Amino acid sequence: MAWSIADVARMSGVTSRTLRHYDDIGLLPPAWIGSNGHRHYEEDDLLRLQQILLMRELGLGLREIRAVLESQVDRVAVLREHHQRLLGEQERLEKLARTVGRTIAELEENKEKNDMAKINRPENLFEGFETSDPETDAEVQERWPEAWEESRQAVEAMTAEDTERWQREVTAQMIRLAEFMVAGTPVADPAVQAEMHDHYQGVCRFWTPNADAYKGLGQTYVDDPQFRANYDKIADGLAVYQRDAMVVYADTRLG
């Protein structure tokens, strides 16, 4: 049985554009192409796509994924390894759920005491968070491959301490931005734009986007389920708020 590219896109949630890109770079060629130019995929291709998506979820870049797929490693062995890593991710998410639950309990307790400001251990607010980094997003990789490769190398050069400190900085910035959003502060407000300047400078540690690229990155925060989920962990609607703030910054500072 074969499926069209539209069928595969609908089943997997991967856009047709991304599937075509995977074909162009030799990562996921279709089983055959019809006389009308339409791509068609068979069961082995769907299994290969599942492996690609699993490795994307686990943070591998497309170059590394292709190397794994071309290594002829036993498919079951590879899936077993992915399964173990997913179990580790499950443990992290459970830790994150405990973190949020503990914060809710403390805030409710403080509310009863009319003491909203006190959190017993502020560092516990960030336990379990794994903030996504913009440089690994497929949208950036597809549209700006040279910048993506540059950023990937920069990430690989980071030590564990560097990564932890950076994740805490990003999470803290997301929380500050959420406070502006909840307060109804317009995205063009100087204080919000100051946060966007810091955000842009943070992105420039990995790659230097122009105005269009920075706007595209902001849209990715909204469109990509993983990015949006990370923002929604902080506050519902935060991804959209940051995207709008990034558009203003791009137009006024990068245009």
| Owner of token pair 């896109």 | 9
User: Under the phi-then-psi rule, with left for phi > 0, alpha for psi from -120 to 50, and beta for the rest, what region is 72?
Assistant: left
pLDDT-based confidence at 116, cuts 50/70/90? very low
Where does residue 59 fall: left (phi above 0), alpha (psi -120 to 50 degrees), or beta otherwise?
left
Q: What is the pLDDT of residues 82-100, one digit of tens each?
A: 677 777 767 767 776 776 6
Mean of pLDDT values over 146-166: 70
Per DSSP bridges, beta strands 2-4 and 32-33 are unpaired
Angle, helices 225-234 vs 238-249, to 10°: value is 100
- In angstroms, how far is CA 21 from the centroid of its own chain? 19
CA distance 65 to 73: 12
User: Is the pLDDT confidence value at 220 over 50?
Assistant: yes
- Provide the H-helix boundaries in 25-159: 43-57, 62-70, 75-112, 138-143, 145-156
Query: Average pLDDT in the 183-206 region?
Result: 92
User: How far, in Å, CA of 66 to CA of 28, rounded?
Assistant: 9
Residue 197, pLDDT score:
94
Taking the C-alpha atoms of residue 8 and residue 223, their distance in angstroms, rounded to an integer, is: 19
Which SS3 state, helix, strand or coil, does residue 145 take? helix
- The DSSP H or E segment spanning 54 is helix 43-57
Higher per-residue pLDDT: 67 or 211: 211
Grade residue 198 by pLDDT with cuts at 50, 70 and 90.
very high
Judged by average pLDDT, the poorest of 14-18, 107-111, 144-148 is 144-148
Q: Coil, helix or strand for 183? A: coil
Q: Please report where in the chains the tokens 């959190």 appear, as a residue.
A: 119
pLDDT at 94: 77
Specify which residues 108 forms β-bridges with: none
- C-alpha to C-alpha distances, 41 to 7, 18, 31, 35, 106, nearest whole angstrom: 9, 14, 5, 15, 52
State how far the Cα of 145 lies from the Cα of 21, in Å rounded to an integer: 12
**Higher pLDDT residue, 126 or 148?**
148
Q: What are phi and psi of 40, to 5 degrees?
A: -135, 140
Question: Structure pTM?
Answer: 0.46
pLDDT score at 171: 80
**255 falls in which pLDDT band (50, 70, 90)?**
confident
